[in-house]
Amino acid sequence: MTTYRYIILFVALGLLSACGESEQEPAATVPEGVLEDSLSAETPAPAVATEDAQSVGGVDAAAFYASRCASCHGKNREGVFGNPSLVALTQADIQIKLEIYRSGGSVGPKSAVMTPMVRNLSDADIEALAAHLGS
């Protein structure tokens, strides 16, 4: 019976570590320090439009998703480790949910995790992520 407890413990720790802050290097397309600055600043940097992609705090929305969101929502937005899939959500759905999270409101059981993740995003940042992720 003790062996099963250790297995459950290691699985639980693995799941918890997958959703937390990671010490991994950001994706190569994210300039060093830009992502951290845009998330930790009291006043987030405004989104800067680019020709090829939406921008979050001056960072490509796809790179932002890959470095901050994919560990819980999956590389292809499929949801991993019991976290929700984003595949069927429209751009409007994502934008509304992110705005509610940012204001401290509750959308579901993962609200406590999402609120600090989006707290410092500007309206333009949320629009860029929603445009990138919306189906």
Q: What is the pLDDT of residue 24?
A: 41
Spatial neighbors of 67 by CB under 8 A, at least 6 apart, are 26, 27, 30, 35
Architecture of domain 30-133: Orthogonal Bundle (1.10)
Please give the average per-residue pLDDT across 101-127, as a whole number.
91
Alpha helices in the chain (DSSP H): 2-19, 34-40, 61-68, 70-73, 91-102, 111-118, 123-133
Please give the average per-residue pLDDT across 108-134, as a whole number.
90
CA dihedral 54, 23, 14, 95 (to 10 degrees): -20
- pLDDT of 26 above 50: no
Domain boundaries, the chain: 30-133
Please give the average per-residue pLDDT across 15-21, as a whole number.
53
Q: What percent of the chain has pLDDT over 90?
A: 38
Q: Which two tokens stand for residue 19?
A: 């959703």
pTM of the model: 0.58
Single-letter amino acid, residue 125: D
The predicted-structure confidence for 42-90, as pLDDT tens digits, reads as follows: 433 333 334 445 777 677 889 889 988 999 999 999 999 899 999 999 9
Q: What percent of the chain has pLDDT over 70?
A: 61
Q: What is the pLDDT of residue 25?
A: 39
Number of H helices, E strands in the chain: 7, 2
The span from the CA of 56 to the CA of 111, in Å, is 21
Residue 107: enclosing H or E segment and its boundaries? none
By the 8 A CB rule, do 94 and 134 touch? yes
